Copies of this chain bind each other. A is one copy, B any other.
Amino acid sequence: MDISRSPRTFRVIGRRTPKVDALDKVTGRAQFGADVALPRMLVGKVLRSPHAHARIKHIDTSRAAALPGVKAVITGNDLPKITLGASGPGGVATTREYYVSREILARDKVLFHGHVVAAVAALSSEIAEAAVDLIEVEYEVLPHVTDPVAAMQPDAVVLHDDLYTQTGTGKATTPSNIAEHLQMGRGYVGRGLAQAEVVIERTFRTQTVHQGYLEPDSEAAWVRADGSVIVWANTQTTFTQRQDLAIVLGIPLSKIRVVPTEVGGAFGGKESVRVSALCVALSRRTGFPVRMTFSRAEVLQATGPGSATVSTIKVGARHDGTITAIQARLVYNGGAFPGAPLRSAIRRVFSHYRTPNLQIDAYDVVTNTPHVAAYRAPGATPTNFALESVMDEVGEVLGMDPIAFRLKNASRPGDPMPDGVQLPSVSLTDLLQRVQAHPCWTTPLAGPHQGRGIALGLWTMPGGTTSCHINLNADGSVTLVLGAVDLSATRTSLAMVAAEALELDLEDVRVVVGDTDMVAYSGASAGDKITYVTSKAILKASEDLLQRLKTRVAAALEAAPHDIVYERKRFWVQGSPDRVMMLADIAQRTVRGEDPVMGYGSNSETFSTVAIAPNAAVHVADVEVDCDTGAVTLLQYTTFQDVGLCVNPDQVEGQMQGGATQGIGWALSEGYAFDDQGVLQNANLLDYRMPTSLDVPRIATNVVEEPSGDHPYGIRAVGQVPIVPPAAAIANAIYRAVGVRPRELPMTPERLHRALKRTGETTPESEALFNVIRQCYGHRLTSDELEEVRKGVAGVSQAAAALRAVRLNNSDEPFSLGIPYRQEG
């Protein structure tokens, strides 16, 4: 592409640039899903299953439907019955739509607590809620299973009688809860382990976690009189949503328009059709627009969280530090339907280290829990937690420095990834060396019970398709129309790319996202590919626009198009610098009788047989553990990342900090807690504890720019990898602080306390204190509160009373007794 250039010449790229949506968002003007308002719009609400697993024997909607103000009540029978591989008006149903259809609205069986059983559209929320209460469902409660390992047992209750384990060689003949058994590897692990002088095998558990996007799922739909549909979706992927809606609802693709709203966080959780399908079904029944907004509880209970996992990792190494074999058994909880991110995780995590012998057995297991979705670097965080923990332990047993051990084994360009693809240029060793020399690693820790941990992360992009077009406006500005939904203001960096490619000022580029009617097909904004994949499409569209303009200029200046030179809003004839035409003049002519000019560009990247522009990260965590309570304080957190070309430093650093913070939540506090009936116990943001600004120190960002050779500008992806190392880095730091290696996420005070107890780090006083803390688990204790509790810890009950009094008197927050997390099995 002739518009590529050396990084040194960038004018716009590399400048700290405010996000295009920042002002709108902080002033409340951004339009999210819940802001969609239409004349005569109805409110949708759903009835959810109170059981984790049950057969629906009968649904009586008559009382609900008779309530004044109720316009429609639908159940699973009101959606077309999807048969795998069968063609309907919307196209051929694949596994995806087969399960999406059942997830949206239960049919015959409910498969998890919170599974939607019926939906109502009414004139108001209050009426809709009252109607939901009037729906009578007769269930036959079935045995349930929420633990993926339990679900794999031969005697486990089977969720789907048509689910047969898929393996590399075929399908099982009897149904089970194991949707897939994926095997990957190279060499002979047995031989590799036999060559090892140190072998360590450990098992790790992680819980289901939620992406924790701030904006609850809220969408709207309107079915028009001719059967065509308009959907306002807070989605990461308008076109996939269109496709899913077409098949799931039996509507021709071209009758559906999906309009993206602003997305208030997604992180993988908003790739699937969920709310909009119900809105369409209700609108089709009523003829009125229908909007549905999930409550926070519903979001946590029944959207798509990240997988819980149980991983066993075995690593063998020689005394000299050479790894001889890695073996892994990875069990991913897919939730109620298949779809855990096995390949996604394996490909990246098991590319960190060289080993001649690798064997991975990964399982996608269905259980009576919410169906999982992607979550930032899908599947990588828990598996990396397991691998990097074992690596840390192996290095320690070998008596090697954590960095030295990793440096010895870190993958280099050309090394094989688990799927056999060669790893292209990657900065793992470079980053490790930088860390080695950095004060965050060299400065000693000061206090007792403090520790420092390190972990690697790696991400490579999934494939993707995107398109865009660029219109020249009458004033010489351009409008860049993107097909890729904006997440975290990706419009900003993409406008910068267009300004760079067209040699405009950033103010000359207006950037917007088109709906499915306005732009050509563009895949999901997911998996870290927006900037990388879309910027290439933008370069093509810019080139197309410039070529068309050069042709126009050539005709006006009576020259050949290839003799026209363009620079900074000015065209001239090569060798005749006085034969000039300004971009603004051509622009003005397009509204004065000459044809308008549009440039179009698309880009499809298929990464199945190659790996492109991988991005690596190393995180260093300093922690202090309170041995009385098990609470972990992050003293310092430092990230290093190769970002390729840093398009907008503000955004790149924001991704690094945001991703690390989510990883910290995964590490220390977040996790679904199901009771023994499979009912989610912490479906609110007090009890499902995401990190707040009080919990996380300022995350230091060290940006390394090693331009990718795969992109004309050297761009790499930056958004996924920051979530991968934190859990492992913090676990390794905790070990250095108190000698306990946590093997279960989240590393809550409760779990750490229990572990410390086993190591004799607790006293009777700390036990009493812990019990107070445990009862108040839902709260973040300030240090003052903690001190107060500490002082009054003569007896547990007094302390608890004192603490409650503190909370009740001093805080605006509602008081709630925290729910303890599930006991270890």
Using Cβ atoms and an 8 Å threshold, which residues of chain B touch A239? 474, 591
CA separation between A475 and B603, bound complex, in Å?
20
A479: Cβ under 8 A from any B Cβ: yes
Q: Is A23 an interface residue (CB 8 A)?
A: yes
A283 to chain B, nearest CB (A): 10
Which one of B224, B467, B514 contacts A23 once the chains associate, using CB atoms below 8 Å? B224
Q: Given B35, B465, B469, B512, which contacts A39 in the complex, CB threshold below 8 Å?
A: B35
Contact of A591 among B29, B465, B469 (CB under 8 A): B465
Are A477 and B253 in contact, CB atoms less than 8 angstroms apart? Answer: yes
- Is residue A359 within 8 Å, beta carbon to beta carbon, of the partner chain? no
CB of A518 within 8 A of CB of B514, answer yes
Q: Which residues of B contact A710 (CB under 8 A)?
A: none
Taking each of A39, A520, A602, which has the highest tally of chain B beta carbons within 10 Å of its own beta carbon?
A: A520
> Is B39 within 8 A of A38, CB to CB?
no
Are A594 and B598 neighbours in the complex by a CB distance under 8 Å?
no
Convert A567-599 into 0s and 1s, putting 1 for each residue whose CB lies closer than 8 angstroms to a CB of B. Answer: 000000000000000000000001101111110
- A224 and B29 within 8 A (CB): yes
8 A Cβ contacts from A590-630 to B: 590-591, 593-598, 600, 602-604, 606
Q: Are A477 and B510 in contact (CB under 8 A)?
A: no
Q: Is A186 an interface residue (CB 8 A)?
A: no
Determine whether A471 belongs to the interface, using a CB cutoff of 8 Å to chain B.
yes
Closest to A512 in B: B517
- Name the residue of chain B whose CB is nearest to the CB of A598: B520
Contact (Cβ within 8 A) B512 A467: no
A222 at interface, CB cutoff 8 A: yes
Interface residues of A in 462-500 (CB under 8 A from B): 463, 465, 467, 469, 471-475, 477-479, 481, 483
Check if A522 is an interface residue, CB within 8 A of chain B: yes
- Bitwise interface map of A from 695 to 736 toward B, beta carbon under 8 Å scored 1, else 0: 000000000000000000000000000000000000000000
Q: Is A406 an interface residue (CB 8 A)?
A: no
Q: Which of B29, B257, B463, B598 contacts A287 (CB 8 A)?
A: B29
A222–chain B nearest beta-carbon distance, Å: 7
- Among A24, A255, A507, A517, chain B packs the most CB atoms within 10 A around the CB of A517
Please pick, from B35, B91, B483, B600, the residue contacting A600 in the complex, using a CB distance under 8 A.
B600
Cα of A287 to Cα of B24 in the assembled complex, Å: 10
A694 within 8 A of B: no
Residues of B within 8 A of A472 (CB): 520
Give the shortest distance, in Å, between A679 (CB) and chain B (any CB): 35
Asked if A446 is an interface residue, CB under 8 A from chain B, the answer is no
Q: Given A39-B37, A517-B481, A520-B598, verify A465-B593 contact (CB < 8 Å).
A: yes
Contact between chains at B225 and A520 (CB < 8 Å): no
Q: In the A-B complex, list the 7 residue pairs whose CB atoms are closest, starting with the nearest.
A: A23-B225, A254-B477, A520-B596, A521-B596, A37-B37, A595-B602, A253-B475
14 contacts between A and B (CB under 8 A): A26-B225, A29-B287, A35-B38, A239-B474, A253-B473, A253-B477, A254-B475, A254-B478, A463-B593, A465-B593, A465-B595, A512-B517, A518-B519, A594-B604
If A254-B477, A481-B518 are given as contacts, then 20 extra A-B residue pairs at C-beta distance below 8 Å, sorted by A number, are: A23-B225, A91-B474, A246-B475, A252-B475, A253-B477, A254-B479, A254-B510, A469-B598, A472-B520, A473-B521, A474-B521, A510-B517, A514-B518, A520-B596, A520-B597, A521-B591, A593-B606, A594-B604, A596-B602, A598-B602
